[in-house]
Each structure stands twice: as structure tokens, then as C-alpha cells.
Amino acid sequence: MKIRPLIPLKLLIVAMVLFALSFAARPALEALVPDLQTSSNVLIIAIPFLLIFVPIILGYMSFIVFVSKLLHQRVPEPVYKFIEYVFIAGIVAGILCMFQPWVFALFKIGFFILFGSLLGFMIWSHLAMKQRRREKAREAGH
């Protein structure tokens, strides 16, 4: 049986190449495209942004794959459920803090709580919890 690597290298290589291209994109666009066309064409303006944003997304996808391969079938169900509920509570708390009209500091804190909880929940939802022995035996029998 072949063991798959934990880190998706192809995804990370593509992310690094795109990120490296982002440094050359802005000067190349300034040299090749006239200012009048650049100011009126949204797609030309978006190229440097996308060459930075897409590698961030690809890096996050690589991190999700890494964590899911690392913890696959290793987290017991009670621990899995508890952490899942903590992330859900963080999402709710972040939304409540962001939409209350009284304290601006809670708005800023709520954004980071919501952002962290959403990122954590996205990673956590890709994990498979440890199955009980009865469930494994039942699946093997069918």
C-alpha cells in the first residue's frame, strides 16, 4: 500500500509560482498597458490582486489537506463534537459582537472571533472522526 504524502506539494508549488508572478505583474502591466486603458478596465487592475489572492487560497487548501491527512480517523467522537460546538459558538458570538450597536471595540473583536471560528470550522469539517469498533465491524460485514 502506497502512503500518500501529508503535504500536497503540487498545490504549494503552484501557489509559490503565482505569488512570484505577482511581483512582476504590476511593472509589466504598467509598461504594456496605457494608463487610460488601465484605469477603465477592471480585469487589468485585478490581475496583480488575483496573483496574490489565489496563492493565499491555495495555501489554505494545502493546510486543510495537511491537517485532514494528519488527523484522519484519530479524533474521538466526543472531542470532535466538542471542538465543533466551540467553533459554532465562536461563529455565533462573532456575529453577535459585530451586529451590536453599542460598543465599537466589540465590533473589532467580533470580526476576529468570527474570522478565526470560520477558518477553524472549515478545517475541522474536513476531518473524519474516529469510528467506533462496532461501526467498523458493521461496515466490514456489509
Average pLDDT over residues 46-61: 92
Beta carbons within 10 angstroms of residue 20's beta carbon: 12
What's the pLDDT score for residue 54?
Answer: 94
Mean pLDDT of the chain: 86
> Residue 67: which residues within 8 A CB-CB, separation 6 or more?
123, 126, 127
Q: Among 41-45, 52-56, 79-83, which is the least confidently predicted range?
A: 41-45
Residue identified by cell 489554505 is: 60
Which of 115 and 1 is assigned the larger pLDDT?
Answer: 115
> pTM for this one?
0.75
How far apart are the C-alpha atoms of 50 and 24, rounded to whole Å?
Answer: 13
Residue 3 has pLDDT above 80, yes or no: no
